[in-house]
């Protein structure tokens, strides 16, 4: 009879431990072990850890599965933003190159404008001289 009581008590304890996810006699639960393994795996590589997938498949009601799912969602979001940031950085670099080219073109146009303004002033001066010569020529002609 005492063996039966002991076996019954032990089965209740183990059943309670399995349903709550705690394993006080043997260490961490399988879900916690998979979660820890997933975290370790995630540190060493890009992408989702296989241990997280296994955890979410084998222990879907575990709080560790919910935490793993949240981490995977954040990781996917992070990868998406990383790709978007890379595309935006490429676009920014292209725009900066175009800006530098446009700035150089503007400087070239300013220099050309300055040269043409100088030539225009020279032509206006020569025109005034020519007018003066014409006036003098008309005064001396019979």
Cα-Cα-Cα-Cα torsion 33, 63, 14, 57, nearest 10 degrees, comes to -70
- The mean predicted confidence, pLDDT, of the chain is 79
Q: How many Å is the Cα radius of gyration of the chain? A: 42
The pTM of the full predicted model, rounded to 2 decimals, is 0.40
User: Would the pLDDT of 43 be above 80?
Assistant: no
d(CA 118, CA 125): 11
**pLDDT value of residue 110:** 96
Structural domain boundaries in the chain:
27-108
In this structure, the number of other CB atoms found within 10 A of the CB of residue 13 comes to 12
96 vs 33, residue with greater confidence: 96
**Confidence band, pLDDT 50/70/90 cuts, at residue 19:** very low
């Amino acid at each position: 009879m005492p063996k039966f009581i002991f076996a019954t008590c032990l089965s209740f304890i183990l059943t309670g431990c399995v349903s709550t996810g705690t394993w006080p006699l043997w260490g961490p639960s399988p879900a916690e072990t998979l979660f820890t393994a997933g975290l370790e795996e995630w540190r060493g590589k890009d992408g989702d850890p296989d241990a997280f997938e296994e955890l979410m498949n084998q222990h879907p009601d575990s709080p560790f599965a919910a935490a793993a799912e949240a981490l995977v969602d954040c990781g996917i979001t992070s990868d998406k933003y990383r790709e978007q940031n890379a595309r935006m950085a490429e676009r920014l670099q292209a725009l900066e190159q175009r800006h530098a080219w446009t700035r150089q073109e503007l400087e070239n146009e300013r220099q050309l404008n300055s040269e043409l303004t100088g030539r225009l002033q020279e032509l206006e001066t020569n025109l005034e001289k020519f007018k003066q010569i014409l006036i003098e020529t008309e005064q001396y002609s019979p």
